[in-house]
Structure formats: C-alpha cells, structure tokens
C-alpha cells in the first residue's frame, strides 16, 4: 500500500510523524511525506522519504492583522492565537493544495495522513476519494478552537471541491496519554509517542548518570529563546551551587552566545531521547517534541511557556503533578525570572512526588498501542 503523510508547521511535526512513518515502512508499505521546503532537512535527518510541495515556511502565512493589534504572530492570548493559527494554516493548505493534487496524480496513495494542522490532507483525501487519517502528533493541540477558523478561511476551496465543511477524518490518532486528554476531546485511536530526533555518534556521558549529584538538562529553545545568554549563565550558577550537574541543549548559534565560561557545563547538541532518561529534571519552554520526550522518560519538568499552546502543555503536566510552571510575564525582570526558575528547580529536586508522578505518566504511555499496532488499523482502513 501507499501512504501519504502531509506535515505542516515546525520540525516538531516531522519528528512526531516519524515513528508512524517508520512503522508503515517496516510493515512493508510505501510512505511519502509531503511538506514545505523548510521541513525537508528535518525529514532527511531522520530518514523519512519526503518531497517539498511549496517553498514558504508557515510564518509566511501568518499576518499580524489576523489578531487585531497584536505586534507578533505569537501572542499570549488564547483567542488571538487561535485566529492566527487557524487563518495561517488555512492559507497554507490553500497554497499547497494544487501541488498536492499534482503529486497524487503522479503517485496515487491508498490513504492520506495529515498532522493535526494539515488541513490540506482532508481536502486532498476527499478529492481523490481515499481514507483520511488525522494524527495529533503531540499534546494539547486546541483543534476545537482552531478548526472553525481554518474552515472559514478555506471556504473558497471547500466550495471548489463541493464540500460544505472540513472533512471529518476516518480515523483520529492521538498520542496524548489518557490522563492528560482534555475534557470533551474527540474519540481517538491512542498511540504511544516514541521519541525521534537526529542522531550523531554518542559519548558515554550521554547515556550514563553522574554519581552522587542530580543532573539537570536545560533546553535553550529553537523558535523561542528561553533566556538571554547572561540570564542563562545566572541560572546555571544557581543550579551548580546546589551541586547539580547542568547540561544545556542548544543550537550552534545559541551555544556560541553562551560562550565557554560555564565551567564543566556541557553546551551544544544533545540527543534528548538518549540523555533525558539519565536526568533528574528537565527545564524547557514546553516545545511539543521536548515535552513529549521528557514525559516518555519519566522525568519531572520545570516549564517556562511563551504562548497559549505551550501554556496548555505546561498546565496539563503541572495539574498532573509532574511539572512546575513559571510564566515569564508574571516574574517581571529577567533576574526575577531566573530566581523563580531556580527556586522551582530546587523544589522539584527536593520533593520526590514530582518524580513519582512523572514516572506514573511514563508508565501510562507504555500501555498505549505502538505505531506498529496502529499501522494494522490503517491497513484495514485502506484495504479495497
């Protein structure tokens, strides 16, 4: 069988799709991922066959006017973010639809899978009359709020295709552990989330725990820089004074900004899937792939979320007892934020209940069907 996966958004959507794509291949089927050009290098890095159907990134389709007076496409307010994302992903779906139609004419699929915000997937599947699967790649995506906005933005395309509304999926796959699914969430096929990220040759410190001291891993952030370089140094200082070993996962540019004056702190590329299980605490901004990786490792989290979606992730984990949330806008200056983060880290490291709840969540994730098991459901759905 041939499966077409349509990815949108950031590299997190590619990483979230990768385990299912690999399971499709391992079951003997063909998989092709379609996305915009910026996603291609991430698909290549994790060896998913991929084709670019448009050059523009998702930010190209985000317009400041979508949220009234908002100066940025990433506002903190729930309604504004729903408007921005709904309209942006609708524009993106409209822009890529013709290219996708050309693609399936050359390579017709038996089933189309779309990420949670891949609205073109449903339109395409409806047009070529094959089953459509919607895949929520990670936790707490507010689809119920964004879908109506996207539907309105896609009204001309819906009319062109003879559709009155966005097509309902024939199957909805959700990787959220049951304890964290929001009230009123639609019925779904659960699936275990499996970390997937680019790899390099490992070093022993990456897969072994330090002796006699806790390990804290901080992510600097890719789209959102969690702290300026000076503030990050202050946070590291606060943590190392408590005896913790500190690691900082950072892209090359951020690693250069932090410089080499952090003592024995390791800064740079760190394989989160390998290192997370050796940690006692992860500090990050609730990037979707990061949060899910930490959840599967059973590690408590200190989260500094910059927008509504990341706040939803942080709130779910905090309510469960597996995390603490520090919101930047409530802390005032960067120095105040650093002090609040350091205090939160000390609380988590000194309170076993956080680790216990994090481990309970990880154990729940292991009970969910694997991607390989879900592929059998897709085979049945696509069978003639």
pLDDT at 76 over 80: no
Highest mean pLDDT (candidates 73-77, 80-84, 110-114): 110-114
Q: Which domains, and CATH codes, for the chain? A: 2-193+368-382 (3.40.50.2000), 204-365 (3.40.50.2000)
Query: At how many degrees (to 10) do helices 78-106 and 119-128 cross?
Result: 40
Are residues 193 and 138 in contact, defined by beta-carbon separation less than 8 angstroms? yes
Cα angle 77-174-196, degrees, rounded to a multiple of 5? 90
Task: Determine the Cα–Cα distance for residues 135 and 172; give it in Å rounded to an integer.
Answer: 6
Q: In whole angstroms, what separates CA 307 from the centre of its chain?
A: 14
pLDDT at 77 over 70: no
Rg (CA), the chain: 21
Task: Determine the Cα–Cα distance for residues 310 and 315; give it in Å rounded to an integer.
Answer: 9
Residue 25 neighbours by CB under 8 Å, 6+ apart: 31
What sign has the CA pseudo-torsion 76, 179, 361, 118?
Answer: negative
Residue 187 per-residue DSSP state = P
Task: Determine the Cα–Cα distance for residues 380 and 384; give it in Å rounded to an integer.
Answer: 9
Which of 104, 91, 12, 1 minimizes the C-alpha distance to 51? 104
Residue 283 neighbours by CB under 8 Å, 6+ apart: 216, 217, 218, 219, 226, 235, 301, 302, 303, 304, 341, 345
Task: Determine the Cα–Cα distance for residues 113 and 122; give it in Å rounded to an integer.
Answer: 8
Task: Determine the Cα–Cα distance for residues 13 and 145; give it in Å rounded to an integer.
Answer: 19
Give the percent of the chain with pLDDT over 90.
Answer: 71
* Residue 128: both structure tokens together: 């070529």
Helix (H, G, I), strand (E, B) or coil at 165: coil
Q: In whole angstroms, what separates CA 195 from the centre of its chain?
A: 11
pLDDT at res. 71: 40
pTM, rounded to two decimals: 0.91
In this structure, of 93-102, 111-120, 185-194, 262-271, the range with the lowest mean pLDDT score is: 262-271
- Report in angstroms the alpha-carbon separations of 218 from 160, 186, 223: 48, 34, 15
Mean pLDDT of 357-367: 97
Residue 46 neighbours by CB under 8 Å, 6+ apart: 14, 15, 18, 196, 197, 198
Which of 278, 289, 216, 212 minimizes the C-alpha distance to 248? 216
| Model confidence pLDDT, tens digit, residues 250-300 | 888 777 777 666 777 899 889 999 999 999 999 999 888 999 999 999 999
pLDDT at res. 73: 40
Are residues 150 and 42 in contact, defined by beta-carbon separation less than 8 angstroms? no
Percent helix, strand, coil in the chain, to 5, is 50, 15, 35
């Amino acid at each position: 069988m041939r499966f077409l996966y349509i990815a949108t958004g950031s590299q997190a959507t590619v990483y979230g799709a990768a385990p299912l794509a690999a399971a499709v291949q391992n079951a003997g089927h063909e998989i092709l991922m379609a996305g915009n050009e910026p996603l291609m290098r991430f698909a290549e890095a994790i060896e998913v066959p991929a084709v670019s159907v448009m050059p523009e990134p998702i930010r190209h389709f985000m317009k400041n006017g979508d949220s009234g007076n908002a100066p940025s496409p990433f506002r903190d307010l729930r309604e504004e973010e729903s408007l921005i994302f709904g309209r942006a992903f609708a524009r993106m779906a409209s822009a890529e639809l013709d290219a996708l139609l050309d693609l399936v004419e050359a390579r017709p699929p038996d089933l189309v899978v779309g990420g949670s915000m891949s609205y073109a997937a449903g339109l395409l599947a409806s047009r070529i009359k094959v089953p459509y699967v919607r895949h929520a790649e990670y936790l707490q995506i507010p689809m119920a709020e964004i879908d109506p906005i996207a539907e309105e933005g896609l009204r001309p395309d819906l009319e062109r295709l003879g559709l009155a509304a966005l097509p309902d999926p024939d199957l909805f796959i959700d990787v959220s552990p049951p304890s964290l699914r929001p009230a009123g969430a639609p019925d779904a096929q659960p699936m275990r989330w499996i970390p997937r990220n680019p790899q390099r040759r490992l070093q022993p410190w990456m897969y072994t725990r330090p002796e006699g001291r806790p390990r804290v891993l901080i992510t600097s952030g890719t789209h959102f820089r969690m702290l300026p370089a000076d503030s990050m140094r202050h946070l590291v200082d606060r943590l190392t004074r408590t005896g913790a070993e500190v690691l900082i996962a950072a892209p090359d540019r951020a690693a250069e900004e932090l410089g080499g004056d952090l003592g024995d702190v390791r800064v740079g590329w760190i394989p989160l899937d390998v290192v997370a299980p050796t940690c006692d605490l992860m500090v990050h901004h609730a990037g979707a792939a990061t949060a899910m990786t930490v959840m599967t490792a059973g590690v408590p989290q200190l989260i500094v979320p910059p927008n509504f979606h990341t706040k939803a992730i942080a709130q779910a984990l905090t309510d469960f007892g597996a995390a603490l949330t520090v919101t930047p806008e409530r802390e005032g200056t960067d120095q105040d934020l650093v002090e609040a983060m350091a205090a939160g880290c000390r609380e988590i490291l000194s309170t076993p209940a956080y680790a216990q709840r994090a481990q309970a969540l990880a154990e729940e994730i292991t009970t969910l069907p694997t991607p390989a098991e879900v592929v059998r459901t897709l085979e049945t759905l696509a069978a003639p």
